[in-house]
Each structure stands twice: as C-alpha cells, then as structure tokens.
Amino acid sequence: MPPLTANDADALITANLDLPRILARQVGRDMGRHVALDDLEAAGREGLVRAAKKFDESRGVPFRRFANHRVRGAMIDALRRESTLPRRARERLVAMQAALELNEGASEELAAPAAPGTTPSLLDLRLADHLGNLATAMALGLIAKTALQDDDAVVAVSGDESVEDVLVREQLRERVREAVRELPDQERALVERHYFGGERFDLVAAELGLSKSWASRLHTRAVERLTHQFKNAN
C-alpha cells in the first residue's frame, strides 16, 4: 500500500493532538514530581509527527494505538537524556521502556479480531497471558539495569537494602540470565545486548539484520518464552 500523503498525515496529527497531553499526564504520574509535563508533551508531539509519517494502515493497527507507542517512546527517550533523575525514577523508566517494547511487538496480535467461536474465557486467558508477559518484561528491564550497575564491581548494599535483599536480587538476576541463555539465537542476542548490554533496541535490531517490526515480534516471543519458563519453574 502506498504511504500516506502529507495531507493525510497532517489530518492524523490534527485529529490526535490530544494524545501527547493525555500520555504526558500518565507518564508524569508514573514518574512522580521529577518531570515537567510541558517537556513531556513537547516530546510527545514530536513522536506524534513521526508516527503519522510512518503509519501503514494496511497492518491492521489503528493509528491511535500505533501512535501511542511512538508518543510514549518519544517521552521515554527524552527522559533518558535527563541526567538529574534520581535512581528510583530511572528504574521506573527502565520498566516503562521494557513494557512499551513488549506492547509494540504484541500490538498487531492484540488488535486482530478474535477467531470465530472464541469464548470470553479464552479472551480473558489471552489478556492474562499478555499481562504476565508485561510483568516479565518490566522485571527483566529492572534486573538487567541492576546488572549493568553491578557487573565487574563489588555489589554494595545501599542504605535502603539489606544483605538479604542483595542476595535475593543476585539470585534472581542469575536465574534470569540462565533462562535467557536458553532462548533461540536471535532472541537471545536481542535480549542480552539490549537489556544486559545496555544497547539501544533499534541499533541492536539493525546490527542483527532485523527490521524494527520483526525485532519487536522477536522480543515479544522471547518474553513469552521467559514467562513460560518462570511459570513452569514455580
């Protein structure tokens, strides 16, 4: 399908100018008093413009859902460049980024209409699986961030952590690393380099020869496998 014309893109932007404002409030609420809503909204408007230019309606995802990922992503990118955020705020940001990437990879599947004969209980199960995957992605982001801080260094006990807390954190981190090692090669490389290597998701995808869309799907598959492993281990 041919790309949208400039007039079509402008119409999408105009019809969704409220989205950056709405999402800025949500992100601001999650991040606390450490962020300026005006700055978030400005970053979100830039994300909205980029979303309108890249939107492909043939993929079956409504524009507002497609733009939601891009607008949130633009806000998160802006926050990541902010050097004055405290540690806990940065941890929330990492979890939000992981959840956003998972949602982007699952967006087309979640947007697809239910198959004929699908019961409400199956729809509930599908949603429950997605929420479980979200929890895994957010935990993976937080654990990997800790790994980046602690690798090649003596793990210190911070003022709000006990020795037991640190030991539990280290055991959980190693458990996650072991599970990641069992992923198929491309999924493992994507997860290890992005989460444990601290590399940007789009750059890792490009170096692996993957489109951003396909990398997002592989990321979703990887998180689904990890969720399944953790459930079976309990």
| Residue 213 Cα distances to 5, 14, 198, angstroms | 22, 26, 20
Same domain, 67 and 146: no
Same domain, 134 and 49: no
Does residue 102 belong to any structural domain of this protein?
A: no
Joined tokens for residue 49 = 């413009």
Same domain, 142 and 229: yes
**pLDDT for position 21:** 94
Does residue 112 belong to any structural domain of this protein?
A: no
Query: What is the per-residue pLDDT across 128-149, written as a single tens digit (0 to 9) for each?
Result: 555 566 666 766 776 666 554 5
More confident residue, 198 or 74: 74
Same domain, 17 and 80: yes
Tell which of 69, 85, 101 closes a domain: 85
Same domain, 81 and 166: no
For the entire predicted model, the pTM comes to 0.59
Residue 164 CB-density burial (10 A; 0-12 exposed, 13-18 middle, 19+ buried): exposed
Same domain, 224 and 140: yes
Q: In which domain, by residue range, is 81 found?
A: 1-85
Same domain, 224 and 132: yes
**pLDDT for position 165:** 57
